[in-house]
Amino acid sequence: MKILTIIGARPQFVKAAALSREIKKHPQLHEIIVHTGQHFDTNMSDIFFEEMEIPKPHYNLNINGLSHGAMTGQMLEGLEEVMLKEKPNVVLVYGDTNSTIAGALAAKKLHIKVAHVEAGLRSFNMQMPEEVNRILTDRISDWLFCPTDAAISNLKREGFEYIHTRVIKTGDVMEDAAQFYAEKAISKSDIINKLQLKPGQFILSTIHRAENTDNLEKLSQIVKALNTLHQNTTVIVPMHPRTQKIIEAHKLPIHFITIEPVGYFDMINLLSNCGLVITDSGGLQKEAFFFGKYCITTREQTEWVELVQNGYNFISGTDSGIIIELAREKLSTPYPSRVNLYGNGKACKTICEALLQENAEVE
């Protein structure tokens, strides 16, 4: 079975690192990796392939810096060309980016089967481009690899029981990656010493969702909260290039510590040693859980409802007062015992078993 894997954004590099490693164990599976180029900054892309031992992509389309429509259109054109040349049995896509929907659409129009890793997630906010991407990708996929029970319930409510597709609960490939790389990060990252941080005594934060960065009031509220918290607890923000440009354009005052985007090992090291996470990132919400840290999510909803239901994650919205109050409370609250929400590191094995079963049935 030839698998054409499409990646383009940071979280997808992490997921692909875990699954590609498992695919290599099976001689019946052959993987071709295509990088759309969606994230092109060295710290957002190249460094991940080097650090995480991901095979260099067979193709790099170098498509970036465009509007949603132009980017998705160029990706469709470029991916179609690759698919016609490689003739894969299945196209594998991750998550909810423009690379995801472009890969799924190009494959489906060429009558190639689509496998969607991280299927079934819903924020129920159609203003988010990610929500549109994930809903459309799910609808045209042949395999829906769901990380959680909540994801499967979402698909059932949408009628997927009556659609010819395979819905499989796999657990989360991000937990597979976190478990594999946790020990490597200890020797490969010195970021805590470089930044002179005290373990457990700093807040790690990220801001990148368009719903926050493109709304000046929301962005200002988040920045205000981080500035206030930094007065008593060090706040570290690996700053997304796009967010940095918007903050500079609006001359928002920054009193916390900003650093350039970091590699995965540095991020794991920061996560392992921080006292709290404040983010609008979907992936970082889970990674905070993997490393036993409370997370405050600066959005109105989350796809990872089980984290909220079990008291690990707290939805603050973008009100600075709520963010500050939650942060101060959680910094002094012991972390609860962890329950198995994401498969305990066996998601990649489950996905490969499903693909191998399909391959056997075809043969």
The candidate with the shortest Cα–Cα distance to 260, out of 229, 242, 239, is 239
Is 208 an annotated catalytic residue? yes
C-alpha to C-alpha distances, 210 to 31, 216, 239, nearest whole angstrom: 32, 11, 14
Backbone angles phi, psi at 116, to 5 degrees: -110, 110
| From 35, 39, 116, 208, the catalytic residue | 208
- Amino acid of residue 355: L
Active site residues: 208
